[in-house]
Amino acid sequence: MRRFYGDGLSDAPRIVVLANDALGNFFAVQPLLQMLRHRYPAAKIELWAGERVAELAVRDAALSSFHLQYRPSTASVVRELLSQEAPTDWVINVENSAWPMSLASILGSKDDAFITGPSLGTNGRGQFAFEADARGDLWSDTEWTSETLTEKYPFLESGFISEIFCRQCRLAGPIPKAIIARDEPSLEVPDVLIATSASLPEKLWPVEKWLTLVRQLAAEGNSVGLLGAAPAVQNAFWKGGSAEEELLANSPLIDLRGLLTLPQVAGAIAKAKLIVTLDNGIMHLAATTPTQTVALFRHGIHRLWCPPSESVRPVVTMPNQPVAEIRGEAVWGAIAEASSVG
């Protein structure tokens, strides 16, 4: 196993990208997958993710030549790895957690295999040392949300997560936008769509503020729909389920949770007049459409995770504050600005 410095790959390498299957992570690596395909047209490129993004990954035009590898269990995947005939030439891991770091070291265990990103060392001993240059320094840097990131690492033009991944793989050129398949939604699309759940409690906006916002939107003649996972599975990955139930019980909100596939959600977003969302997968879906989107972010996180899209308007907290501190007036102001576009 060795670190990748930009050359040494064969004409038709096998490249495996390891990523979390949260929607945001999928969208973060999608530009990387596009650039890898452009740079290595004869390569076999595999995205190893999980079932939460399967609906998008197997339908995505940009990923049509990729193989989505599921991880049903640790044991079954390791057995497959040990029995596979084709060795991996380059492993790209963008996750810091134990399982993908272990996978990276297994997949990249042959002497001439390249590894980019966090990995355990040979035979799983310790952490494999990063590159001995500025990109290695960036992998070790814990402050990717810093406003001075591009000054510290001049090979970056922005602090957006997708660009960081692409430049860490030493890929040059413009960063492509994430593109996904869209399906016609199977129901009538409300004028405004909101998404009130997120992966962390510090991303959440209080139910009282959502209630005020929904009632204001409705008072102006808008129908408002709630996007999200079906209630039965929501608590497995997301926070905010109880707030959703309170919103539905006390406002004219239309419950769309779990009624659409992810490509249909993308189609619904494209048809809506406005999206109001937290920093979550719906925000990333919305960024692939021209629909005006107001997104609530923690300070600094917006630099790393807000897509550079003309349709997305971030509303950002003061430093070190949770999203709950964002005033309703600030969100309503962003909505007014978005409504004036076009």
Q: What is the CATH number of the domain that holds 110?
A: 3.40.50
Please report whether residue 321 resides in a domain: yes
**Final residue in a domain of this structure, among 101, 134, 168:** 168
Interval 123-154: pLDDT, tens: 777 899 999 999 999 999 999 999 999 999 99
Q: What range defines the domain where residue 203 resides?
A: 192-339
157 and 206 together in one domain: no
| Arithmetic mean of pLDDT, 185-208 | 91
Please report whether residue 178 resides in a domain: no
Please report whether residue 173 resides in a domain: no
| E strand or H helix at 231 | helix 231-237
CB 26 within 8 A of CB 59: no
CA–CA separation, 165 vs 94, rounded Å? 7
Handedness of CA 2, 3, 6, 10 (dihedral sign): positive
Q: Residues of 287-304 as b/e, b for ≥16 C-beta within 10 angstroms?
A: bbbebbbbbbbbbbbbbb
CB 151 within 8 A of CB 162: no
Mean pLDDT for the chain? 87
Distance of CA 138 to the CA centre of its chain: 20
Q: Structural domain tally of the chain?
A: 2
Interval 96-133: pLDDT, tens: 988 889 889 888 888 889 999 999 988 777 899 999 99
74 and 203 together in one domain: no
For the cut 80, the answer to whether the pLDDT of residue 293 exceeds it is: yes
CA–CA separation, 103 vs 119, rounded Å? 8
Please report whether residue 91 resides in a domain: yes
Handedness of CA 45, 49, 51, 56 (dihedral sign): negative
52 band by pLDDT with thresholds 50, 70 and 90: confident
Please report whether residue 186 resides in a domain: no
